[in-house]
Amino acid sequence: MTDRIVLAYSGGLDTSVAIGWIADATGAEVIAVAVDVGQGGEDLEVIRQRALDCGAVEAYVADARDEFANEYCMPALKANALYHDKYPLVSALSRPVIVKHIAAAAKQFGADTMAHGCTGKGNDQVRFEVGITSIAPDLKCIAPVRDLALTRDKAIDYAEKHNLPIATTKKNPFSIDQNVWGRAVETGFLEDIWNAPTKDVYDYTDDPAFPPVPDEVLITFEKGIPVAIDGEKVTPLQAIEIMNQRAGAHGIGRIDIVEDRLVGIKSREIYEAPGAIALIEAHKELENVTLEREQARYKRRITDEWTELVYDGMWSSPLKDSLEAFIEDTQRYVSGEIRMQLHGGKAIVDGRKSDTGLYDFNLATYDEGDTFDQSAARGFIEIYGLAAKQAAARQARLGY
């Protein structure tokens, strides 16, 4: 029986060429696996047919948009996950769901190897291969670009020579990855970190320097999940899509950072994540109302660890699962409404309402109705500062 390889297939030039390239290099049959995580563009049926026309013996396609939003984006939202305090894990979140479907396709079609289109310099090779070994440890992994010397110039030449049904061009300067949670752009002139991004870098967001009139939006959460926008019920996917459109119109979610890759190099990345950034900002503010002080402090530490594990491709790690159990517990009371103003690149919260919150007007007010016993403060301060007072006295006594 001929060996079979499942290929993570995007429908673009590199993975289309990889079908034949892998077959020529290994003698194996290739099954293309295309997963829709809200990246837009072409219909899945068109992508499926292209894979077959490029030489795949089978094409596995999956509409995973709701799955991605529910099972991957929402945990990131509950965690307020931002790598380097800026990047909402756009690509890192999509890899585990793609890996899940690669493993399913391998089982369905009897493949013993998976392939992906990553280079040897990026994070995604780790995310794909560690992901596969975590859920399908018997699958071997190959990477045509990294392992089989498939460069872009060779891909173009191969496509033209074999008349593959795919557009070929050497002019596109960028490497782009996108899904419903956001869009990542790198390479080309952006690799010189002194160069400012040009207008053609952006697609999900309009120029924040020329915004439309301010847009007021009301987001309703239940246990950390957005369930309504302006009073209209939404699914997680719909919430992200709506906020992508509304926040994107104001240029919200543009991110330009030099980040630390897992493989040890620094990389300049441009991200657009209007829906993700606006929703995280709303969620964080609702947590300010609903989480107890020490719980909120500790959650920030847990969030950093969770975010780094996901960025580093450890979606299936036991530690991530344990951290997620803590995060999930914190969301029991994260319910209520957040009012935001979207304008000029900013999502600003100016209203909060929660029946499960810890904000008490009568404790907070300085006006009539104040129920806070201010006389208790003197004794509290005395005890609170006692250790520091003792240490300062020792220092004064010993002279250092």
User: Binding residue per annotation — 316?
Assistant: no
User: Binding residue per annotation — 10?
Assistant: yes
Residue of 50, 65, 95, 268 marked catalytic:
95
User: Binding residue per annotation — 179?
Assistant: no
Q: Is-catalytic flag, 95?
A: yes
Q: How far is the CA of 159 from the CAs of 76, 174, 177, in angstroms?
A: 38, 19, 21
User: Binding residue per annotation — 12?
Assistant: yes
User: Binding residue per annotation — 117?
Assistant: yes
Angle at 236 (CA atoms; ends 235, 241), nearest 5 degrees: 95
Three-state secondary structure call for residue 29: strand
Residue of 14, 183, 246, 312 marked catalytic:
14
User: Binding residue per annotation — 87?
Assistant: yes
Q: Is-catalytic flag, 317?
A: no
Q: Is-catalytic flag, 200?
A: no
User: Binding residue per annotation — 2?
Assistant: no
Q: Are the C-beta atoms of 219 and 282 separated by less than 8 Å?
A: yes
Residue of 134, 146, 152, 175 marked catalytic:
175
Q: List the one residue out of 320, 305, 339, 293 whose CA is nearest residue 130.
A: 320
Burial class (CB in 10 A: 0-12, 13-18, 19+), 259: middle
Backbone angles phi, psi at 9, to 5 degrees: -115, 125
Residue of 36, 91, 94, 124 marked catalytic:
124
User: Binding residue per annotation — 14?
Assistant: yes
User: Binding residue per annotation — 124?
Assistant: yes
Q: Is-catalytic flag, 14?
A: yes
The answer for residues whose C-beta is within 8 angstroms of residue 80's C-beta and 6 or more apart is 280, 283, 284, 287, 303
User: Binding residue per annotation — 216?
Assistant: no
Q: Name the residue type at position 200.
A: D
User: Binding residue per annotation — 311?
Assistant: no
Binding-site members are: 8-16, 87, 117, 119, 123-124, 127, 175, 259, 271
Binding-site members for L-aspartate are: 119, 123-124
Binding-site members for L-citrulline are: 87, 123, 127, 175, 259, 271
Query: Which residues participate in catalysis according to the annotation?
Result: 14, 95, 124, 175
Binding-site members for ATP are: 8-16, 117
